[in-house]
């Protein structure tokens, strides 16, 4: 399996690590740290050095309680950073946006993937921009409008709801002319889900993977609030171990792309998952101590 972007084919024989680079003043974990273009490029260099396969650059916070910014403001935050990173490094760049105007500016600056948290619900022209550019497209499950995504009443059956929304989003993308190989599906951890539903999606990811076998699956749990709650209401800077554990389980259950803040530990953990799974799949011999009473 591979993921087709406007610049290349990304090999998915092992899970890829997508590094988060927020150039916003108010993101929940690193807001304001990399809003300056020079600081953002330096951080990009660090993430690449740690083994990131993809950089996901975002100019609009989607944390609970955040407010929308204008397309012009979002472009002013991301375009120069994308251009500078693309000029210096040969790495796939994703832009985290749900606005077609921002997507077009980001693609012109050197991005090759559009990561849409709305799954094409917020801007009907976004799919057209992707189809014309042949960019990669991430379709994430979410519910409600931008301001109400995190305050939706939970659905009764989260797997069924995610699957239904995936089918809708894939059909809309296909109707606009987006190719199947361009599409990745994201289960939307933390967006309008209860703590238990977030855990269920990770634990039963293989079921979604089986139903949508033609599409790579992305999972982004990094430093999210459900981890903080589970670990005793700790802040984002104390959620690294929980983030890593959830990423490992997601990778074991079939995630093809992991969206993370902590790149080096995740890269190392993925190597272990791949090595263990390879041994597990290769060894079909019966246990040597079977039927011995041990």
pTM for the whole structure? 0.91
Catalytic residue list contains 181: no
pLDDT digits (tens, 9 = 90+) for 46-63: 999 999 999 999 999 876
Catalytic residue among 77, 104, 193, 224: 224
Catalytic residue list contains 99: no
pLDDT digits (tens, 9 = 90+) for 124-156: 899 999 999 999 999 999 987 776 666 778 899
Catalytic residue among 259, 271, 277, 278: 259
Q: Which has the closest alpha carbon to 219: 149, 141, 165, 135?
A: 141
Question: What pLDDT sits at residue 37?
Answer: 83
Question: What pLDDT sits at residue 9?
Answer: 98
pLDDT digits (tens, 9 = 90+) for 176-231: 999 999 999 999 999 989 999 999 999 999 999 999 999 999 999 999 999 999 99
pLDDT-derived band at 163, boundaries 50, 70, 90: very high
Q: Which has the closest alpha carbon to 218: 10, 7, 6, 8?
A: 10
Q: Which domains does the chain have, with CATH numbers?
A: 14-282 (3.20.20.20)
Q: Average pLDDT of 108-125? A: 96
């Amino acid at each position: 399996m591979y993921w087709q972007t406007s610049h290349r084919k990304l090999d998915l024989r092992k899970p890829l690590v997508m590094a988060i680079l927020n150039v916003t003043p108010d993101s929940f974990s690193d807001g304001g740290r990399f809003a300056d273009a020079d600081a953002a490029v330096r951080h990009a260099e660090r993430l690449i050095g740690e083994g990131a396969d993809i950089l996901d650059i975002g100019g609009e916070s989607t944390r609970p309680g955040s407010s929308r910014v204008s397309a012009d403001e979002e472009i002013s935050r991301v375009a120069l950073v994308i251009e500078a990173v693309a000029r210096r490094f040969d790495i796939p760049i994703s832009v985290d946006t749900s606005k077609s105007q921002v997507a077009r500016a980001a693609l012109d600056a050197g991005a090759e993937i559009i990561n849409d948290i709305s799954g094409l619900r917020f801007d009907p022209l976004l799919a057209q921009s992707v189809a014309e550019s042949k960019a990669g497209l991430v379709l994430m499950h979410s519910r409600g409008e931008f301001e109400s995504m995190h305050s939706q009443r939970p659905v009764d059956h989260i797997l069924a709801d995610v699957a239904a929304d995936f089918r809708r989003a894939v059909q809309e993308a296909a109707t606009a002319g987006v190719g199947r190989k361009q599409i990745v599906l994201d289960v939307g951890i933390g967006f309008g889900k209860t703590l238990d539903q977030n855990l269920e999606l990770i634990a039963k990811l293989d079921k979604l993977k089986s139903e949508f076998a033609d599409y790579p699956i992305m999972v982004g749990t990094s430093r999210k609030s459900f981890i903080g709650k589970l670990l005793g209401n700790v802040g984002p800077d104390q959620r690294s171990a929980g983030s890593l554990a959830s990423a490992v389980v997601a990778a074991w259950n079939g995630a093809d792309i992991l969206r993370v803040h902590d790149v080096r530990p995740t890269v190392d953990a993925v190597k272990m998952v791949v090595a263990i799974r390879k041994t597990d799949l290769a060894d079909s011999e019966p246990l040597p101590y079977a039927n011995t009473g041990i």
